[in-house]
Amino acid sequence: MEGQVSRMVTKGLLTHLGCDVTTVGSRDECLRVVTQEHKVVFMDVSMPGIHCYEVAVVIHERFRKHHGRPLIVALTGNTDRVTKENCMRVGMDGVILKPVSVDKMRSVLSELLEHGVVLES
Amino acid sequence: MEVGQLQRSFVEYMASLFREGFLDAQFSQLQQLQDDSNPDFVVEVVSLFFEDSERLLNDLTMALDQPNVEFKQVDAHVHQLKGSSSSVGAQRVKNCCVPFRICCEEQNTEACLRCLQQIKQEYLLVKNKLQTLFELEQQIVASGGAIPMVQ
């Protein structure tokens, strides 16, 4: 979930790296479409009014009794301590700084799929 | 103009956009995402950026014209403009957003208006530059040439 331009760029980036991508523009839409088929949910936590932290909490709860859940990664324009702490508190699996380069996203995807977590250094 | 000359003009023009700070490395990243399966990616993203920016600049103008300015709303618009300009590599526009957000925090209407003026100027400049770049690309393709890769 991001602004339109950011969303288009992130979609282009992930598609270029071979991912099958679904984009959404709101919390409600995200919660409506997300399934176990989705390996990773990328969300812009700096968008006001999007309630990204709530989305993470709901995803955890919804998939708690399943054998897996989509990994959740925050995309943010700043990696200050408060943002990171908020993301970790709601159980996000990673925080990465926007804009994301092709090489960086390739490395993030690789880390996520291998270790199930990524943290911005 | 023959295609070789067009290609040289394109390379030099692109280099000048980076040199003068209109574009940053993120624009190069967008170019990397353009391929046979997505041949118009850069133009499509930049077109969306133009639409989005003009809407936001309009919203900012109206928001700052109110008798009681809602600075949180102004800040939200600037934040979004910062995000979108950052996503396409429009460096000067992005950089204008930083002091603008500080002025919002200080709730300084006059300063915000000056920032808005500055952003509008930078936006128009980069829009003009990018449109010229795309026109050069079209001329190269129309002349039967390939768009040079610029590192």
**Tokens (6 digits) for B111:** 């300063």
List, in order, residues 6 or more apart from B63 with CB less than 8 Å away.
Answer: B69, B70, B73, B74, B77
Q: What is the pLDDT of residues B59-99, one digit of tens each?
A: 999 999 999 999 999 999 999 999 999 999 999 999 999 99
Q: What is the pLDDT of residues B105-117, one digit of tens each?
A: 999 999 999 999 9
Show residues of chain B in contact with A2, CB under 8 Å. 83
At A75 the three-state DSSP class reads strand
- Phi and psi at A43, nearest 5°, equal -135, 140
Q: Which residues of B touch A (CB under 8 A)?
A: 25-26, 29-30, 32-33, 35, 37-38, 41, 44-45, 48-49, 52, 76, 79-80, 82-84, 86-89
Interface test with B, best of A9, A44, A83 (most B CBs within 10 A): A9
Q: What is the mean pLDDT of each run of 10 residues along chain A (121 residues)?
A: 85 95 89 91 75 86 86 85 86 90 94 80 48
Q: Does ipTM surpass 0.85 in this model?
A: yes
CA A58 from chain centre, in angstroms, equals 14
Q: What is the pLDDT of residues B91-105, one digit of tens each?
A: 999 999 999 999 999
Which residue from B minimizes the CA distance to A49? B76
Secondary structure of B103-120 in the HEC alphabet? HHHCCCHHHHHHHHHHHH
Question: From the list A3, A8, A16, which residue is nearest B45 (CB)?
Answer: A8
Distance from CA of A41 to the nearest CA of B (A): 19
- Phi and psi at B41, nearest 5°, equal -55, -50
pLDDT of residue A68: 84
At A47 the three-state DSSP class reads coil
At A95, which helix (H) or strand (E)? strand A94-97
What angle separates helix B71-88 from helix A4-16, to the nearest 10 degrees?
30
The full length of chain B comes to 151
CB contact under 8 A, B41 and A12: yes
pLDDT of residue A12: 96
**Tokens (6 digits) for B62:** 């109206």
Show residues of chain B in contact with A4, CB under 8 Å. 48, 52, 84
Q: Are A69 and A63 in contact (CB under 8 A)?
A: yes
| CA-wise closest residue to B124 among B60, B53, B23 | B53
